[in-house]
Amino acid sequence: MKLQTQRFIDRWVGQLLCGGVSAGVRFTGLFSAPAKLDKAPKNILVILLSEMGSIVLAGPMFAELRRKYPSAAIHVLQLKKNQEVSKLLSLTQPENMHSLDDSSGVSLIRDILKVSLAMRKLGLDAVIDCELFSRVSALLSFSTGAPVRVGFTPHTQEGLYRGSFINHAIPYNPYQHISKQFLSLVDALESEGSAPRNKAAEIRELPVDTELSVKFSAAELQSYRSQVQTDHPVTANRKLVLMYAGGGILPERAWPPAHYARVAQGLCAAGFAVGLIGLKDDAQLAKDLMAQIRNEACIDLTGYTRSIRELLMLFHASKLLITNDGGPGHFATVTPIQTMVFFGPETGKLYGPLGMRNKVLESGIACSPCLSAYNHRLTFCDGDNQCLKRIAPDPVLEDALQFLNGSTPSQ
């Protein structure tokens, strides 16, 4: 199903359904006590429908859930296309992973009904809705039958209505990194109703570690590194730098291809190999970049990795990743590779990769960032993303060379 179609249905049908559910919950609430979490919950569901990078940013939240509720089974509901990452990162046991197929409206409705019935049969103690202002995820939290429903509330913000049936709600804070806000959702499980009455929750710092890992044996990594060198002999005697120049579902997040080409040319001239990574859909972009770079030390690796696991092994075999905002920059944080990540339409202050091995690159012009939960991530720049175009390639090349030659990139 197209993204714009999903947004249209979520906005108009979603608001109507949220209003109806809210009225019903308000009436039945007159005859029942406020829902509270049991001291030893058995089943907690986390709804995480966002793109794959958010899965990594939610790592500290899952670790905190396991620490606070060691006897509870943590269930995860995601879009089917994102499940590979969750399984690889072992967010929970495979049997506790549930999915929705959003390839068509029929398959989505079918899976919503299927999951809702399964969760009601299971008997959830609580559900955590990690989506910001999505109506479908809010409705899902109700349809699962969980008595304690945790999620974000727009409070007094107009145009973001998603009902009033999230009974342990916290305000979304556009000034705090999303990983901290995910941790606040865990705190809200035991709150007395909705925040900001939950001001007594502990003060949390921005997590330094994702608390996620993927185990590889030394032999496995060496075998993969040897395979890369066999397939691309130029990497045998050169340190490998990876570049992800694609924009994914949000092309406005992409640094200009000409800038990538300039940096790649400089790296190749300095004795490094450059690998252009991406999905098969990025093959034409890589071909165009190769034509601009014109150096045998630059290789096309789009479609080379057949899974996220292989991508992580490629990160292990490389020294540096230069990437647009998106999944690769977050996946890299569970490997030893250094990253340089461009932000503009969105900001690293809210969605930057966790850890100490990354550098966020932003121009800071007045209109940046422009994508937010408040405008459903629709930009007004009409593709002219000056916030990224104004990040000049030469300083980026200088920072990359400083790191590769053993110095610390400038901050």
Regarding whether 269 and 136 lie in a shared domain, the answer is: no
Given 134, 167, 188, which residue is the final one in a domain? 188
Q: Which domain holds residue 153?
A: 3-188
| Token representation of residue 43 | 């089943």
In a domain, 195, yes or no: no
Measured from the Cβ of residue 206, the count of other Cβ atoms closer than 10 Å reads 13
In a domain, 334, yes or no: yes
Structure confidence at residue 373 as a pLDDT band (50, 70, 90):
confident
- For tokens 């396991």, name the residue: 66
Does the structure show a pLDDT above 90 at 137?
Answer: yes
* pLDDT at residue number 157: 81
Regarding whether 226 and 368 lie in a shared domain, the answer is: yes
DSSP state of 82: G
In a domain, 22, yes or no: yes
Read off the CATH number of the domain in which 294 is found. Answer: 3.40.50.2000
Name the residue among 171, 179, 136, 175 with its Cα closest to residue 151: 171
Mean pLDDT of the region 376-399: 92
Does the structure show a pLDDT above 60 at 148?
Answer: yes
Structure confidence at residue 250 as a pLDDT band (50, 70, 90):
confident
Question: At a CB cut-off of 8 Å and minimum separation 6, what does 261 contact?
Answer: 289, 292, 293
Q: What percent of the chain has pLDDT over 90?
A: 80
Regarding whether 274 and 173 lie in a shared domain, the answer is: no
Q: Which amino acid would we find at residue 278?
A: G
In a domain, 410, yes or no: no
Structure confidence at residue 347 as a pLDDT band (50, 70, 90):
very high
Regarding whether 139 and 25 lie in a shared domain, the answer is: yes
Three-class SS of residue 146? coil
Regarding whether 241 and 154 lie in a shared domain, the answer is: no
CB 245 within 8 A of CB 282: yes
In a domain, 336, yes or no: yes
* pLDDT at residue number 408: 57
Regarding whether 235 and 184 lie in a shared domain, the answer is: no
* pLDDT at residue number 29: 86
Regarding whether 333 and 238 lie in a shared domain, the answer is: yes
In a domain, 205, yes or no: no
In a domain, 206, yes or no: no
Given 188, 205, 229, which residue is the final one in a domain? 188
* pLDDT at residue number 277: 98
Regarding whether 393 and 284 lie in a shared domain, the answer is: yes
- List C-alpha distances in Å: 200 to 93, 166, 180, 262, 388: 32, 19, 16, 51, 40
Structure confidence at residue 292 as a pLDDT band (50, 70, 90):
very high
Regarding whether 121 and 20 lie in a shared domain, the answer is: yes
The average confidence (pLDDT) of the chain is 93
Number of domains present in the structure of the chain: 2
Given 173, 188, 203, which residue is the final one in a domain? 188
Mean pLDDT of the region 204-216: 94
Regarding whether 181 and 122 lie in a shared domain, the answer is: yes
Does the structure show a pLDDT above 80 at 202?
Answer: no
* pLDDT at residue number 194: 64
Regarding whether 281 and 323 lie in a shared domain, the answer is: yes
Regarding whether 140 and 101 lie in a shared domain, the answer is: yes
- For tokens 């690293």, name the residue: 348
In a domain, 66, yes or no: yes
